[in-house]
Structure 1
């Protein structure tokens, strides 16, 4: 299966004239289409809402687009809460899901009246001590063991640091009721980047059944079930994309079989899809600047792992297109590298590609989520710009590239770096 970009060579050459590589490019049209398709898939649930995971793509221009499409935001830190506030999100627009949470983060979440999703039973008294217990609150479930779909192990929640056990959840809701909470949510994240249509429906059944149990054992009113993230994208050309309409239908069946007979047909469904919403609607645009011929063939790009960490961090695959050579034979084997002083700074290893010449535009697919966001400054590398391809075909700079002045800004050496 061929992976196609949302931008062609002619468009990209025009953008590069205005914004030098490397930069992350986002597709406004694609973002809006995804948001609408997701909303349609869950239209059967009147309370449905997507809370976009800010951690995936923390850019206010992106958040404003999603806000216009009716999405809320999922925040996990003080600065993400600040960004949400600056974009006009407040109250039930914001889901705050954090772990090992500092007091000031909880205090900011309470100031914004965000829906707080607690990660540990000890956080109940911690939140009470540093702020107050809200009327609406959620807790994150970790059922332990292995999470399987059709006898295939998807992940190992029992080895994850997140969430409460089932027994702790029951105790937590009783304690929260004593402290004045009136409505509750349930949240869980059991597998990452799943491309099977069965993930959400399987997770939904687990959470719906537990919601009924919680209500029966504690009397707590369950206002929402948050399926969180985990719905993935096909990074590789041979992977099939998730059918979000089929996913929504699968969750609906579980809802009607479990919640409605229990008299809980008013429970809202929430999602927190960062990767699904943004990954395919972003790419990293780079230029080939070096080639090296030793024991292997290398192509060096003007980007590095500081711009896209996923391949170096855990060997993640990102498809590569050499612009203008989409139909050329892939008869050259390359390691595609960046310039960090680390041997794992490789975007691809032994990748079959068309012959790459110095100056070619080389584009890495599916970087719209957890791409720029995971950037860093090792080796003094500077994070790249972010550019939005608007629906009208124009390109807009939505984050400038870092400069040496930015890198030196936090040093307390008056005047030492002013010349930069």
Structure 2
């Protein structure tokens, strides 16, 4: 559930009229609901109540400093995949000592930075990486805490570009080689074995892949506890969110209307299925969810430039583009599109919703039916809180969008819209061209 809803004819985030945000800060602008993030965080924790759980928010989903600070205040640590993300957590005052560092290509500089800031553990993806971490730790005179990411070869039944737990994905060490990898790790003088980790993909909408993966790794976790004294089992993240009917899904009535057998995956059903498998291990459980916490907590506001009527096709041209929200172009992803001012007297419009970039791929939706809207009116792309601004680019020399955080009736700019001067600040014309 989330806190986006119509109050009368106008779309609100919590108690804030989104048209007021657009008027003050312009468009395109991302808007995030702090209350939705907090609700999602608490539901995940409560779903696994009774276990020793640490939620490590996957910062790659949305790494705005205000979002990181908000989650840190709630008790979250972080799942990091770059030195830049680690520096963001430090800048936000987050807890690096309870955070984990993942990713298949950690550089020596990133490993050193993480060790200097006392990272809780590295999630090791390969034996060459293991040797690299040992080397860097040795130069610092410390022992590096590690866990091995084990690939359980489970089909997450998600988009091919976000599956990570199959044997033909680049992530982790295959389950059949895991025991040997731990034996190798134990021989390195500057490594300290702390746990075991898995992550099978993103935007999973059924519990079965999670259950299958935990069932496959639980015996290994128990064996590693007996042999190496590991203290935790990270079961990764990946719980999906609702993209279709996203606005309606913020209301309790929508959930009650869904048949029990097809009801979307929730923290409650996730916890109910996994807790019986995890409890007997007696290990600390790490969760590394990102999208679930912030995805439905954000929208992208945009303004209509024109309605272009073509031969058998309408094009609704808006000021947001694929550089602002790349998911539809990159993954063929669906985002619900709604007007900020709802008017039931208007007729329906069927159109392709497109941006101004000179690419046919700059298309948010094809043949989408929505309320007819005209030049200067405002729309919102729902479910844009995850993998939106973090994946944005400056393609066509377009500035990065602004970001706003809402809590109750208050809202504040948490990332200013990029200026042209800032965009080119690092560029130089060499002397030989002058």
Structure 1 contact 51–72 (Cα < 8 Å) conserved: yes
Structure 1 contact 199–231 (Cα < 8 Å) conserved: no
Q: Secondary structure, in 3 states, of the residue corresponding to 2:230?
A: strand
User: Aligned ranges for residues 30-69 of structure 1 at < 5 Å?
Assistant: 30-46=36-52, 48-69=53-74
Matched, 1:5 2:4: yes
Report which structure shows greater RCO (CA 8 Å, sep ≥6): 2
Matched, 1:353 2:362: no
Aligned residues: 399
Q: Which deviates more, 157-166 or 54-63?
A: 157-166
Structure 1 contact 22–303 (Cα < 8 Å) conserved: yes
Q: Pick from 301, 315, 331: which aligns with 1:314?
A: 331
Structure 2: which 5+ runs fail to align?
12-16, 247-261
Partners of 1:328 and 1:286 in 2: how far apart?
Answer: 22
- Deviations along 1:300-347, one digit per CA (max 9) or x if unpaired, are 111101110000112100001112227567732110000111101011
Aligned position for 2:270: 247
Matched, 1:105 2:110: yes
Structure 1 contact 207–225 (Cα < 8 Å) conserved: no
Displacement of 1:106 in angstroms is: 0.9
Structure 1 contact 118–138 (Cα < 8 Å) conserved: yes
> How high is the TM-score relative to the length of structure 1?
0.88
Displacement of 1:95 in angstroms is: 0.9
Which aligned runs of 4 or more in structure 1 are off by greater than 6 angstroms?
none
- Deviations along 1:130-189, one digit per CA (max 9) or x if unpaired, are 33473531111113364579xxxx886122111112243222212222225444221112
Aligned position for 1:168: 177
Q: Which deviates more, 229-238 or 357-366?
A: 229-238
Partners of 1:156 and 1:67 in 2: how far apart?
Answer: 28
Matched, 1:223 2:231: yes
Structure 1 contact 225–269 (Cα < 8 Å) conserved: yes
Q: Secondary structure, in 3 states, of the residue corresponding to 2:32?
A: strand
Matched, 1:179 2:195: no
CA RMSD of aligned residues (A): 2.5
Aligned position for 2:250: none
Aligned position for 1:407: 423
Aligned position for 1:71: 76
- Deviations along 1:359-380, one digit per CA (max 9) or x if unpaired, are 2211000000101110001111
Q: 1:86 to 1:195 in 2, by over 3 A?
A: same
Structure 1 contact 305–345 (Cα < 8 Å) conserved: yes
Structure 1: which 5+ runs fail to align?
416-420
Structure 2 contact 200–236 (Cα < 8 Å) conserved: no
- Deviations along 1:106-134, one digit per CA (max 9) or x if unpaired, are 11111111111111111111112233473
Aligned position for 2:253: none
Partners of 2:372 and 2:263 in 1: how far apart?
Answer: 28
Q: Which deviates more, 194-203 or 290-299?
A: 194-203
> How high is the TM-score relative to the length of structure 2?
0.86
